[in-house]
Amino acid sequence: MGRLTVNLCGVELDNPIIPASGTFGYGYEFAELYDINMLGSFSFKGTTKEPRFGNPTPRIAECPMGMINAVGLQNPGVEKVIAEELPKMRQHFHKKVMANVSGFSVEDYAYTCERLNGEEDIGWFEVNVSCPNVHGGGMSFGTSPEAAAEVTAAVRKVTDKPLLIKLSPNVTDIVSIAKACEAAGADGISLINTLLGMRIDLKTKKPVIANKMGGFSGSAIFPVAVRMVYQVAGAVNIPVVGMGGVSSAEDVIEMMLAGATAVEVGAANLIDPFVCKTIIEELPRVMDKYGIQNLSDVIGGAHHG
């Protein structure tokens, strides 16, 4: 084991750095820039049962220290992901990958995970419960413990791969939702997804994004993410994958001290495509600065201080 090695739900990672879903495609675009096998893993683009074109444009709004997006889960659908995207990905990435799955009904989630379950290079499922429940009035599955648990239980029945549930921060009590997912069979929790944000154009006096509102991400949300990771890690007995505004090796260590076993990097990839490579290369130096011998030793360290 190396200094940067961590174990996520029984799968050993060379380091805890995982590019977040929606910011890294299927990896092969970034493989043109550097050897992506240096990553711990990556979470590929959110996959749904049917193909999705996504939301109308404009979909992006810039903000100080962040961005708002409303892409709308644009993806080719699970059948094309299996037939076309994963074979291309395998040419460049030779480790276990994280499959990010979204849906608009419990049945959608279960179907998509069951179809992907036979792919050997998928090491974990990361189930995004921030999607609107079309049968429940459009409210996100992740806004109630009961709905999140229902999705977790349905996916648990169709796969024996490690199951991570990705939670929305747009709730009043994230701990109760995380605990409900754990009780329903989750092997880990991923958090946080984007906050809900909005920009208005002063010239047109209309929302910048066609969807009016979108997911706010970037370094501005980092303190919120650290707080929620700390809360959830202290309440559950399963690993936590932390994300939200991470852009440096120092951020990674802070997130791990809050309780994260692995750390995803999202919006920063859109600003600097080399950011994950830089973080991995910088981690040993930052560890030395703070007297850290092995990264795995700091997981949850802030809970013991």
Q: What is the DSSP secondary-structure string of 160-176?
A: -S-EEEEPPS-SS-HHH
Report how far residue 147's alpha carbon sits from residue 176's, in angstroms, rounded to the nearest whole number: 12
292-297, Cβ contacts within 8 angstroms, sequence gap of 24 or more: 292/253, 293/3, 294/1, 294/3, 294/5, 295/3, 295/4, 295/5, 295/6, 295/15, 295/16, 295/253, 295/256, 296/5, 296/6, 296/7
Average pLDDT over residues 256-269: 98
Query: 277: pLDDT confidence band, cut at 50, 70 and 90?
Result: very high
- Decide: 197 and 222 in contact? Cβ < 8 Å: no
Question: For residue 242, is pLDDT > 90?
Answer: yes
- The pLDDT score that the predictor gives to residue 154 is 98
Question: For residue 1, is pLDDT > 80?
Answer: no
Categorise residue 188: left if φ over 0, alpha if ψ from -120 to 50, beta otherwise: beta
Task: Choose the weakest-confidence range: 131-145, 189-203, 228-242.
Answer: 131-145
Query: 134: pLDDT confidence band, cut at 50, 70 and 90?
Result: low
Query: pTM of the full predicted structure?
Result: 0.96
- The pLDDT score that the predictor gives to residue 304 is 84
Report how far residue 124's alpha carbon sits from residue 261's, in angstroms, rounded to the nearest whole number: 14
Distance spanning both ends of the chain, measured CA to CA: 26
Question: For residue 136, is pLDDT > 90?
Answer: no
Average pLDDT over residues 5-24: 97
Question: For residue 118, is pLDDT > 70?
Answer: yes
Domain ranges within the chain, ordered by starting residue? 6-303
Chain mean pLDDT for the chain: 95
Residues of the chain with pLDDT > 90, as a percent, come to 94
Q: What are phi and psi of 270, to 5 degrees?
A: -80, -20
Nearest by Cα to 167 from 197, 130, 202, 134: 130
Residues of the chain with pLDDT > 70, as a percent, come to 97
Query: 130: pLDDT confidence band, cut at 50, 70 and 90?
Result: confident
Residue 285, token pair as written in the block: 């130096």
277-281, Cβ contacts within 8 angstroms, sequence gap of 24 or more: 277/34, 277/38, 279/17, 279/248, 279/249, 279/252, 280/4, 280/15, 280/17, 280/38, 280/39
- The pLDDT score that the predictor gives to residue 131 is 74
- The pLDDT score that the predictor gives to residue 137 is 59
Query: 133: pLDDT confidence band, cut at 50, 70 and 90?
Result: low
Question: For residue 88, is pLDDT > 80?
Answer: yes
Distances from the Cα of 231 to the Cαs of 46, 182, 184, in angstroms? 26, 14, 19
CATH topology of domain 6-303: TIM Barrel (3.20.20)
Model confidence over 219-241: pLDDT tens digits? 999 999 999 999 999 999 999 99
User: Which residues are known to be catalytic?
Assistant: 131
Contacts with 12 (C-beta within 8 Å, 6 or more apart), sequence order: 1, 5, 6
What radius of gyration do the chain's Cα atoms show? Answer: 18
- The pLDDT score that the predictor gives to residue 204 is 97
**Neighbour-count burial for 179-216, b at 16+ CB within 10 Å, e otherwise:** bbbbebebbbbbbbbbbebbbeeeeeeebbbebeebbb
Report how far residue 221's alpha carbon sits from residue 266's, in angstroms, rounded to the nearest whole number: 12
